[in-house]
């Protein structure tokens, strides 16, 4: 078979690379250079930085390391757009990313185009190890697509004009759901974690990040897990009952966080005209009482669970229940546009809408080993002081999550689409 014939061949991974790269650009189509350059807080990054960092990943780990004679697009970019890879040397401070007004947004887009064209040109001769890194890079960029959306939401919320990035979708009112039902399980030993033999960088259902394994057994005590997440209406009742004023519901660190920040409602909520409103990428609007509550911290989730006479599920309880459902179901990111949780309409939904806090610390599974090389810094070194979330959200690209997927954040963080599913002991 001639080189031209090989070059014309497509593969699922090659098509996924093109689709992922295209969606990231689509998410930023409406941004000005100023919109893309500003950093609203230390936890967030400018949109321009997300565009460049995901490109640096492919340029560094695929092109530089596996394509003979490849020359960096700009020798200065690794310092600007490395995130936390110590093995890759010095880098610009995370909380100063908003000071990088140059390169411009158009120059960053040109950087993306250069790297994309270089990957495409090199595709026929890329070794298997490089293609595995392309797969990892696609999943890495999907994580940054979600971060990009949530960082833009935080950025626009800091503008006193509260501008809408996307037009509001027309909605059909959905009735409030009935009382929470419980999926009950007795005492049992279950298999937890990705089913592959150790870390995988394959495509599709075979992919898993290293922190999702090794697969191992876990003992579940008799328990029930809620068949839906907590709604805005239920959270409003928690507020009305003094939930943010009663220290008895709160962990000590959580209560200190409430007092220090004068916290009285989920992030982006404001009381206006006698009712609660929320800010979203479609502007400020009244909360939908039937929709899942979101933008709450672990501290808030734990306090609500205590107030409701329940608790947060362990990540093992969550995975055991969610494994019976399709990860592709639910409200997830399919295209650029207004992004927000939607009311569930029938049936238990474990994927999409909001990431669900668990009561489990983000720690390694028995036998965990990080991947070799710089990409081994991807997950393992963050296994301290954070809690696991499961299930994906309305900002998670469809096809990105699975039952074994472990997201993780610090207990005070809530700018992501984070929500609550209750559990109880039986």
- DSSP assignment of 165-190 equals SSPPPP----PPP-SPPEEEE-SEEE
User: In this predicted structure, what is the pLDDT of residue 5?
Assistant: 41
Tokens 């298999």 -> residue: 191
Cβ distance 247 to 236 under 8 Å? no
Provide the pLDDT for residue 197: 46
Both ends of the chain: CA-CA distance in Å?
64
Strand partners, 361: 387
What are the b/e assignments for 2-30, b being 16+ CB within 10 Å?
eeeeeeeeeeebbebbeebbebbeebbee
What secondary structure letter does DSSP report for 63?
I
pLDDT, tens digit, 9 for 90 and up, residues 362-408: 999 999 988 888 888 888 899 999 999 999 999 999 999 999 999 99
Question: Taking Cα atoms as reference points, which of 149, 160, 123, 138 lies closest to residue 6?
Answer: 123
| Structure confidence at residue 4 (pLDDT) | 42
| 3-157 carries CATH number 1.20.120 | yes
User: Does 170 have pLDDT greater than 80?
Assistant: no
Secondary structure (DSSP) of 77-120: HHHHH--S-GGG-----GGGGGG---S-HHHHHHHHHHHHHHHH
pLDDT for position 108: 98
pLDDT at 272 exceeding the cut of 90:
yes
Of 166, 151, 174, the residue nearest 339 (C-alpha): 166
Q: Residues 118-144: pLDDT tens digits?
A: 999 999 999 999 999 999 999 999 999
Nearest C-alpha neighbor of 324 from the set 153, 190, 157, 131:
190
Q: Which pLDDT does position 204 carry in this prediction?
A: 42
Lookup: tokens for 205: 């259902």
Q: Outline which parts of the chain fall under CATH 3.90.1580.10.
A: 182-425
Share of the chain above pLDDT 70, in %: 95
pLDDT at 93 exceeding the cut of 80: yes
**Inter-axis angle of helices 298-307 and 232-240, nearest 10:** 70
CB 155 within 8 A of CB 40: yes
Neighbours of 401 (CB within 10 A): 24
Least confident of 37-51, 210-224, 226-240, 346-360: 346-360
> Cα separation of 209 and 219, whole Å?
23
What does the pLDDT read at residue 392? 97
pLDDT at 199 over 70: no
CATH number of 182-425: 3.90.1580.10
The C-alpha angle 390, 395, 398, rounded to 5 degrees, equals 80
Q: Is residue 311 scored above 70 in pLDDT?
A: yes
Average pLDDT, the chain: 93
Q: Is the pLDDT of residue 303 over 50?
A: yes
- For residues 348 and 322, the answer to whether their CB atoms sit within 8 Å is no
102 pLDDT higher than 80? yes
Q: What pLDDT score does 7 carry?
A: 44
Residues 6+ apart with CB under 8 A from 149: 27, 281, 333, 339, 395
Rounded Cα gap, residues 398 and 347, in angstroms: 19
**Signed CA dihedral, 399, 400, 406, 407: sign only:** negative
Q: Tens of pLDDT along 1-47?
A: 343 444 456 799 999 999 999 999 999 999 999 999 999 999 999 99
Q: State the burial class of residue 122 (Cβ atoms within 10 Å of its Cβ: 0-12, 13-18, 19+).
A: middle
Alpha carbon separation from 309 to 125, 364, 398 (Å, rounded): 59, 30, 34
The residues of the chain that CATH labels 1.20.120 are 3-157
pLDDT reported for residue 175: 85
How much is the pLDDT for 9?
A: 65
pLDDT digit string, tens, across residues 144-160: 999 999 999 999 999 99
- CA distance to 54, 141, 298, 363, 399, per residue, from 382 (Å): 19, 19, 17, 9, 24
Backbone angles phi, psi at 315, to 5 degrees: -65, -25
Quick one: tokens of 327?
């990860």
pLDDT for residue 171 is more than 70? yes
Question: Residue 354: which of 305, 389, 400, 316 has the closest Cα?
Answer: 389
- Position 319 confidence tier, pLDDT thresholds 50, 70, 90: very high
Q: What integer pLDDT is reported at residue 99 of this predicted model?
A: 97
């Amino acid at each position: 078979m001639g080189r031209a014939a090989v070059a014309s061949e497509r593969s699922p991974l090659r098509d996924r690379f093109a689709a992922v790269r295209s969606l990231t650009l689509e998410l930023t189509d409406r941004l000005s250079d100023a919109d893309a350059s500003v950093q609203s807080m230390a936890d967030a990054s400018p949109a321009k930085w997300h565009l460049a960092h995901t490109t640096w990943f492919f340029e560094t780990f695929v092109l530089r390391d596996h394509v003979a004679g490849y020359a960096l697009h700009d020798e200065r970019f690794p310092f600007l757009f490395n995130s936390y890879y110590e093995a890759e040397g010095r880098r610009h401070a995370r909380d100063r990313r908003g000071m990088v007004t140059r390169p411009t947004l158009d120059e960053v887009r040109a950087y993306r185009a250069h790297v994309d064209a270089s990957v495409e040109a090199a595709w026929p001769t890329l070794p298997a190890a490089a293609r595995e890194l392309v797969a990892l890079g696609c999943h890495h960029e999907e994580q940054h697509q979600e971060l990009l959306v949530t960082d833009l939401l935080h950025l626009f919320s800091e503008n006193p004009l509260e501008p809408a990035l996307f037009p509001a979708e027309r909605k059909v009112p959905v009735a409030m759901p009935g009382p929470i039902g419980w999926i009950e399980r007795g005492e049992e030993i279950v298999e937890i974690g990705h089913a592959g033999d150790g870390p995988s960088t394959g495509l599709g259902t075979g992919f898993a990040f290293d922190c999702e394994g090794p697969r191992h057994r876990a003992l579940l005590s008799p328990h029930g897990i809620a068949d839906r997440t907590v709604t805005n209406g239920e959270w409003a009742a928690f507020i009305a009952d003094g939930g943010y004023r009663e220290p008895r519901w709160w962990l000590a660190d959580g209560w200190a966080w409430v007092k220090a920040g004068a916290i009285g409602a989920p992030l982006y909520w404001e009381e206006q005209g006698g009712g609660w409103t929320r800010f979203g990428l479609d502007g400020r609007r009244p909360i939908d009482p039937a929709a899942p509550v979101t933008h709450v911290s672990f501290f808030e989730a734990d306090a609500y669970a205590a107030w409701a006479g329940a608790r947060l599920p362990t990540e093992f309880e969550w995975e055991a229940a969610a494994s019976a459902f399709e990860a592709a179901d639910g409200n997830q990111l399919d295209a650029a546009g207004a992004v927000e949780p939607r009311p569930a309409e029938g049936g238990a939904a474990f994927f999409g809408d909001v990431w669900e806090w668990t009561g489990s610390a983000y720690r390694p599974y028995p036998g965990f080993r990080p991947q070799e090389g710089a990409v081994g810094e991807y997950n393992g070194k963050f296994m301290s002081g954070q809690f696991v979330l499961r299930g994906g959200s309305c900002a998670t690209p469809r096809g990105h999550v699975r039952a074994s997927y472990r997201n993780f954040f610090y207990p005070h963080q809530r700018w992501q689409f984070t929500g609550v599913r209750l559990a109880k002991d039986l």
